[in-house]
Structure 1
């Protein structure tokens, strides 16, 4: 048995935050400056009564409707989110019931951000290739904008909300997911943190994350990101990860037809593309209308690549996620 990606789709909440909206609130940042720094023109924002389970359910429904998938065929559900509705129960249990999946379905959450899609695919592959199940539904869903202080323009320009759903299924003998690599450096946990709302004060880990230390009035969560630290971490781990994925896949860079990385921001992605020497036509970017949707950036980009004709059957695609944790992971998919 071998696992493959059979279908992917996504859902975005209807409310939109544009660069014009942000420039009106922060006149010192023009529309052009925001677009140049981030590559983002607009981001979708979850409403006051719209949470990760809502987005996850809508993404699953889109996958089922657009790809003719029977919910009763799902044997296992993995929900990747860092913004769960509740501490308990798990978001996966809520989504299982709302999607009408059988009560014989296994369901679990994993709490990873930018690398989460890769980790979820790795777990799905393990469940299938160990003979436990044949069909796994992987859903990524995050509402990071609920964590952001409204006066913190440095992160409001970057993050958007969204969810994506992927069906991973038994492909028989053909090997379709290879070269899986993982990495973790918890020493960098302080670089991206929500200091409030958990059981332990975040200031103990990262004193700079205190909202008042950033001249902000605390609002309940107050996400903190050390942009330079994240950027330097990315430049260090991504090239090494690409080499490791190719080595484990027994492939060369020329064998890869398309690269789909975590869509952090356009400046970082372009820097990585040039550093790796990847031609622009083989490096897919889908940021402009979405923003950084954390765990959903890669599956959203995959969906867009298919719709735009950039990703076709038989192509080899390298997927690579990196960020909060600090955590990273990558693999090669034969589409």
Structure 2
């Protein structure tokens, strides 16, 4: 049984962190330097009392408002997040109740980051193919900024918070194609929050400063930028090629590429390495930052809004990052 993307929408928190504000925190980093290195001008930051369930519900409500009928007959809720409201219960169950979705609907969370939207589409397609569900609400939401040390300049300039909502069903605007997925746990410690889980439940907040002046703590988000860049540069070209092969496509017949919006430097490096024409490469990061699992669906929604995607287009999606994990698929627009 085929599965289709039916509609998508997103939510960005009200609070905005601009490059001007970051320059006041870190005078040695000019506004121009931050924008040049990251491609980011503004990031949206979840409020002090705003959590993943709040943002995911806001994204879902926006989807329901802008797409009449989207809220009807949902029989599964899937939430991708690495910052759930609680260790337990499942945040997707909380969202199901607050949205008034039927108690006959299944609900689950899965913990994945920058490749999470692709994995979510794969799970949703599998549920439909197995005739377990007919209409799925796929949500992504993360509040990475709550885990970033105030003086971690590198991460604070890159990450923002967001949530998205997508309907996957047995009919819609784009058929979901074949998947290429992968993982390599050897890179786990290169993007990690070491404390707070069952292995290290006590938050120590012991600090250390790296050679670049970034302050790190085992209780906060740590990212080894050079190692993440090396992994991405190695894994993504093969991911893109295998995704095209599985979907019987080549560069000429793929109309648009939407990658995880990590940062502009990395995106430009990948585009040039894979030899993707600039006009086929969609970037939307300037006013959102890296929103982890939400970057691809936000960019997808914007590409549709801007008329970058037309009937008959084939759009390749590629996610990659924390885990390590990666995934790709193609949307065949009707």
TM-score, normalisation: structure 1: 0.94
CA–CA separation in structure 2 for the residues paired with 1:2 and 1:191: 37
Q: Match for residue 256 of structure 2?
A: 258
- 1:168-195 CA-to-partner distances (Å, cap 9, x unmatched) read 01039x9922230111000000100012
Matches within 5 A, 1:1-335: 1-171=1-171, 176-201=175-200, 211-212=207-208, 214=210, 221-335=219-333
User: Is the contact made by 2:152 and 2:216 (CA closer than 8 Å) also made in structure 1?
Assistant: no
CA–CA separation in structure 2 for the residues paired with 1:277 and 1:32: 28
User: Is the contact made by 1:211 and 1:222 (CA closer than 8 Å) also made in structure 2?
Assistant: no
| Residue segments in structure 1 that go unaligned for 5+ positions in a row | 204-208
User: Is the contact made by 2:153 and 2:214 (CA closer than 8 Å) also made in structure 1?
Assistant: no
Task: Give the secondary structure class of the aligned counterpart of 1:275.
Answer: helix
CA–CA separation in structure 2 for the residues paired with 1:279 and 1:26: 36
| Residue segments in structure 2 that go unaligned for 5+ positions in a row | none
State the 4+ residue runs in structure 1 displaced beyond 4 angstroms.
Answer: 213-220
Number of positions where the alignment pairs a residue of Structure 1 with one of Structure 2: 329
Give the CA deviation at 1:213: 5.4
CA–CA separation in structure 2 for the residues paired with 1:130 and 1:229: 38
CA–CA separation in structure 2 for the residues paired with 1:10 and 1:47: 17
Q: Match for residue 206 of structure 1?
A: none
User: Is the contact made by 1:181 and 1:245 (CA closer than 8 Å) also made in structure 2?
Assistant: yes
Q: Which stretch has the larger CA shift, 148-157 or 70-79? A: 70-79
- 1:38-89 CA-to-partner distances (Å, cap 9, x unmatched) read 0000000001100000000000001111011342410101000000000000
Give the CA deviation at 1:321: 0.2
CA–CA separation in structure 2 for the residues paired with 1:13 and 1:133: 31
**Distance change >3 Å, CA 291–CA 217, structure 1 → 2:** closer
Give the CA deviation at 1:221: 3.0
CA–CA separation in structure 2 for the residues paired with 1:115 and 1:102: 29
- 1:83-115 CA-to-partner distances (Å, cap 9, x unmatched) read 000000011011101111111110000100000
Give the CA deviation at 1:199: 2.2
CA–CA separation in structure 2 for the residues paired with 1:334 and 1:70: 20
- 1:131-151 CA-to-partner distances (Å, cap 9, x unmatched) read 111101100000000000011
Q: Which has a greater percent of helix?
A: 1
CA–CA separation in structure 2 for the residues paired with 1:50 and 1:230: 29
TM-score, normalisation: structure 2: 0.94
What's the Cα RMSD here?
A: 2.0
CA–CA separation in structure 2 for the residues paired with 1:320 and 1:202: 33
